[in-house]
Amino acid sequence: MKSKQKTENKKKEVHLSAIIIVKNEEKKLPECLESITWMDEIILIDSGSTDDTVEIAKKYKSKIYQITTGSYSDWRNKGLAKATSDWIFYIDADERMTPELKKEITEMIVSKQKNFVAYAIPRKNVILGKEFKHGGQWPDYQKRLFKRTALKKWSGDLHEQPIINGKLGHMVSPIIHIKHDNLTDMVTKTNKWSHIEAENLLQSGHPQMVWWRFIRIMMTEGWIRLIKQKGILDGPEGIIYGIYQMWSKFISYGKLWELQETDSH
């Protein structure tokens, strides 16, 4: 009888939790959730959605926590605190788990491989409807899978990073990232994040912006994206995206210039 009880308890153990941070993701969230229904637990941190994001999450039996203040690091840490699994997987609403990655993760957990406590996952980026293979978009490793006891916390405002206690491994199978559907979405995201980047640059003591710095920054970005990282080989989409990144840098540093001007008066 005791043996049977132990077997049943073992079956009920949660081994893998998915953590998703969202805000107004009703269009992309269903496909994301559909790709991770096999996981034992789905934790959704909603930062203030006004569309049907939360209702969609409920259909997939997600554990929903609504937090409207804080940064991405705060939200990732909140998800970590709520997770009950041995392993944690972070995924965004515009990403999709692949069958190959599911198989690789499952085999790793079942085998109880102990050399690594965290894994970076390669990511296939789809931009303007095309899968990019150049321009710094592949393999685009992202640290997403962690042993819960080894992940201490996330830190940083713009490009948050995990602090782990142990070795980092790299998986072979990719996750799919529907990065940018169109230029309108790209502009919206740039306008949102460029202010945070400008604030970080100001706090780091960046030299005063003058006209020639703008030219140097934009030309350097274009050379890296299009030539060094061979973005031109991704065709018209690659060229458009490379030029767009030059403009995006201009906006971030233009906002830095505004902040510096305000501080000087």
Domain ranges of the chain: 7-179, 182-264
188-223 per-position pLDDT tens digit: 999 989 999 999 999 999 999 999 999 999 999 999
Report field, pTM of the whole predicted structure over 0.85: yes
CB–CB of 45/25 below 8 Å?
A: no
Contact 178, 126 (CB under 8 A): yes
- From start to end of 24-131, where are the E strands? 41-46, 63-66, 87-90, 95-97, 118-121, 123-127, 130-131
- Mean pLDDT, the chain, as a whole number? 93
Residue 8 has pLDDT above 70, yes or no: no
User: Is residue 139 reached through a cis peptide bond, with omega within 30 degrees of 0 on the bond before it?
Assistant: yes
pLDDT at 12 over 60: no
Q: What is the pLDDT of residue 168?
A: 96
Res. 145: pLDDT tops 80 = yes
* pLDDT greater than 80 at residue 82: yes
pLDDT in tens, 89-125: 999 999 999 999 999 999 988 887 668 999 999 999 9
Q: 85 with 43: CB under 8 angstroms?
A: no
Average confidence (pLDDT) over 255-259: 98
**Mean pLDDT, residues 129-153 taken together:** 97
Nearest to 17 by CA among 73, 70, 72, 78: 78
Q: Which whole number is the average pLDDT over 126-147?
A: 97
Closest CA to 109 of 89, 123, 93, 91: 89
Fold of 7-179: Spore Coat Polysaccharide Biosynthesis Protein SpsA; Chain A (3.90.550)
Number of H helices, E strands in the chain: 8, 13
**What would the mean pLDDT of 24-29 be, rounded to a whole number?**
96
What pLDDT, on a 0 to 100 scale, did the predictor assign at position 176?
98
pLDDT of residue 9: 47
Residue 176 three-state SS: strand
Phi then psi for 247, rounded to 5 degrees? -65, -40
pLDDT (0 to 100) of residue 115: 86
